[in-house]
Amino acid sequence: MKLWLLLICVVVALNPVTDFRVLDMDKALVNSKKISGRTLETYPGKGLLHTKAGSSNATVNLDSLIIPLKTDKYKSIYWVDVSVNQVAATNNQTFPLLLDTGSAIAWIANSSCLSDGCSRAPKFFYSTVTPTEFSLDYSSGKISGLLVDAPKSNITYTINHSLVVNNFTCGLAGSVPSFFSNYNISGILGLSANASLERGTNLLSQLRLEKAVDSAKFAIILGSPDNVNSSFGGLLALGQMADKYATSLAQLPIQSRPVVPNISGYWMVKVTLVSAVSSTGTNSTFNGAVAAVFDTGTTGLALPLADATAMHQMLFGNLFVADNQGNYAFPCNATGSIKFNLDGLILDLSVDLIRADEYTTAGLQGMCSSKMQGLGSTPNWVLGASFLKNYYTVFDVDHQSIGFSPRVSLYSYIANENANSSSISGGGSSSKTSSAVVSSSSSSSQKSSTSTRAAGSASFNSILSPWTLLLFLISII
């Protein structure tokens, strides 16, 4: 008898965001005070406090366990290509799947899906499923469907054309929220902290079970190239490679903190103290400890509404605008930082990293939208890609911990000659070896924003082409 017939993610997930500006922010100016500041274009970037140390001659050799991530032009999502190989099929299918540490399972849009959210990317043509339903609630809609019957399906999954996974259970979504129509992705590759092996839904646990890795852990380093025409978004290191490259891609030894147990499988850590340094140099402390969820599927930061307002007040005094719907704007020339104290481990977040596009609306010139949003539906602080891009972050399923170190600001990688991959278009030569120097910052186009996604002491002050050798110099200074 089946003991599990319904797999439900009971938490509310947030949506990725391409543009944090909202159409009616000018109406919030009535009771707000605004300085006459420089625009974003003339703002001299201050950078993170800890990046001064950071360069490296590290070279990463891409292989089946070192996977390049791709990103969209807004730097709002990060994904990998996953191929589904069916023995009986004449053509295998490849799907771009959003890398999401906030989701418990992987899912792909089913061929039966007719909703707008399934309109832009390939869909999965397959019929053998389990009687097990799955459901995932997003802030703007619901995803539901059935799980693929892994033992009976006679299919394998291949990540980035090189890493083969057998008996991995993913979902086929029959309905997908409309916000997915903004992205050319077919679904989600969940990498949650849930270590359960029962259903084969945890990729890292399944890889270890198949002896593809010696430990159920992974590391990410997010890069956002802006000055080349590129979809390169960073690196995903699986299993033992997470430790191997920690010595070259991290500035300092990795320091880990335990994951707070939770039914959702979130990478949640207790933050004992949050403090801020404002543009004027004023230091202030947030009242109380918080639980922080580290989530690659969230573009910016999502806090409870009252907490988000309090943090903007700490950073900018009364020089910010709020619409009471969780959206904020602050002077584009503002400085400052937030410090997260994880039981003695201090993680910095510069105001630079929560600054999004400048408003062009009359009365809002010199004001930039904020990547830190307020949500009434989340009790936790969700720290997304805008935060994680500053660190080499290790997610350890086996030990239920997450570790951090400031990432190096410069590294190169060499593509595996056997991988069916392609290169960053950086205007380099067309010879077998090509290189490009790229830098990172946030960019986007103006749209109406939704939300980012719903639901020891130390201070840490596309598509590749089948060329034989590709060498890229990646700089995120």
Measure the CA–CA gap between 29 and 321, rounded to whole angstroms.
6
CA dihedral sign of residues 148, 150, 155, 156 = positive
- Residue spans of the domains in the chain: they are 6-475
Q: pLDDT grade, residue 109 (50/70/90)?
A: very high
Average pLDDT of span 326-344: 96
CA distance 240 to 193: 17
Least confident of 53-57, 151-155, 347-351, 374-378: 53-57
In this structure, which amino acid lies at residue 402? I
Q: Which residue has the higher pLDDT, 101 or 411?
A: 101
Q: Which of 72, 100, 137, 348 is catalytic?
A: 100
Question: What is the rounded average pLDDT of the residues 265-286?
Answer: 95
Superfamily of domain 6-475: Acid Proteases (2.40.70.10)
Read off the pLDDT of each residue in 443-464 and give the average, rounded to a whole number. Answer: 39
| Pick from 151, 262, 162: nearest CA to 206 | 151
Q: Is 81 a catalytic residue?
A: no
Q: Mean pLDDT throughout 145-165?
A: 83
How much is the mean pLDDT over the chain? 76
**Structure tokens belonging to residue 2:** 């089946």
CB 73 within 8 A of CB 232: no
Cα–Cα distance for residue pair 168/157, rounded to 1 Å:
8
Amino acid (one-letter) located at 169: T
Q: What is the pLDDT of residues 201-244, one digit of tens each?
A: 888 888 988 899 999 999 999 974 344 447 889 999 999 999 99
Percent of the chain, pLDDT > 90?
A: 42
- Kindly indicate the confidence band of residue 57, based on its pLDDT and cuts at 50, 70 and 90: low
Average pLDDT over residues 398-419: 83
Top pLDDT among 369 and 324 is at 369
Using pLDDT thresholds of 50, 70 and 90, give the confidence band for residue 445: very low
Angstrom distance (rounded) from CA 51 to CA 38: 24
Residue 356 has pLDDT above 50, yes or no: yes
Q: What is the pLDDT of residue 437?
A: 32
- The answer on pLDDT for 123 being more than 60 is yes
Q: Report yes or no: 442 and 372 within 8 Å, Cβ to Cβ.
A: no
Q: Out of 256-260, 298-302, 401-405, pick the least confident.
A: 298-302
Looking at the predicted structure, is the pLDDT value of residue 198 above 90? no
- Return the HEC string of 70-102: EECCCCCCEEEEEEEEECCCCCCEEEEEEEECC
Lowest mean pLDDT among 100-104, 205-209, 222-226, 372-376: 222-226
Residue 392 has pLDDT above 90, yes or no: yes
In the predicted structure, residue 105 carries a pLDDT above the cut 90? no
Per the CB < 8 A criterion, the answer to whether 311 and 338 are in contact is yes
pLDDT digits (tens, 9 = 90+) for 310-331: 999 999 999 999 998 899 999 9
> What's residue 424's pLDDT?
31
Please tell me the predicted confidence (pLDDT) of residue 416: 66
- Residue 143 pLDDT greater than 70, yes or no: yes
Nearest residue to 22 via CA among 454, 368, 378: 368
Give residue 38's pLDDT.
Answer: 28
What b/e string do you get for 324-361 counting C-beta neighbours within 10 Å, with b at 16 or more? ebbbbbbbbbbbbbbbbbbeebbbbbbbbbbbbbbbeb
pLDDT value at residue 19:
60
Q: Which residues contact 330 (CB under 8 A, 6 or more apart)?
A: 312, 315, 316, 319, 320, 321, 351, 355, 367, 368, 370
Take residue 47 and report the two structure tokens written for it. Answer: 């950078």
- Amino acid 418: pLDDT: 52
| Catalytic residue, candidates 72, 81, 137, 295 | 295
For the cut 80, the answer to whether the pLDDT of residue 61 exceeds it is: yes
pLDDT given for residue 48 in this prediction: 27
Q: Indicate if the pLDDT at residue 45 is higher than 70.
A: no
pLDDT at 413 over 50: yes
Q: Which residue has the higher pLDDT, 440 or 105?
A: 105
| Residue 65 confidence (pLDDT) | 95
- pLDDT bracket for residue 13 (50, 70, 90): low
Looking at residue 151, what is its pLDDT?
67
Tell me, what's the pLDDT at 432? 32
- Which token pair is 112? 């039966």
- Average the pLDDT over 197-201 and give the result: 65
Return the exposure string of 221-257: e unless at least 16 CB atoms fall within 10 Å of the residue's CB, then b.
bbbbbeebebbbbbbbbbbebbbebbeebbbeebbbb
The pLDDT confidence band at residue 448, using thresholds 50, 70 and 90, is very low
pTM across the whole model: 0.80
